[in-house]
Amino acid sequence: MIGDVPAQRSCIIDMRVLNTICLLICIVCILLGTVIGLAMIWGIVRDNDIVWRSWLTVGLLFLASAMTLCVSRTFEGWGSQRRNNNVAEPGAEKCRPRN
């Protein structure tokens, strides 16, 4: 038909990939926060607004990534519980490969 749009495959992101990305962000934030904190303690970097803002930005990124990791783990467990009860997940038929 004219104007008929073919169905697109829309799958939910793989939770393992999301968990890996969030974990890597957390590790980078821990390392950056440690470096900035040590530089502030030893006086390598002077106490100014830019240093504090960068330190707080790293902390905020860490917090957001850790919270995303917790939420994705919660939903991952919820999805596996539904699979164990043999309940079809909404949209699961869209993600199955076609023969």
Dump pLDDT digits (tens) for 24-69.
999 999 999 999 989 888 888 887 888 889 999 999 999 999 999 9
**Global confidence as pTM:** 0.63
Q: Distance between CA atoms of 64 and 62, rounded to whole angstroms? A: 6
Q: How far apart are the first and last CA of the chain?
A: 24
Find all residues with CB under 8 Å of 68, minimum gap 6, and list them. 18, 22
Q: Half-sphere exposure of residue 55, counting CA atoms within 13 Å on the CB side?
A: 15
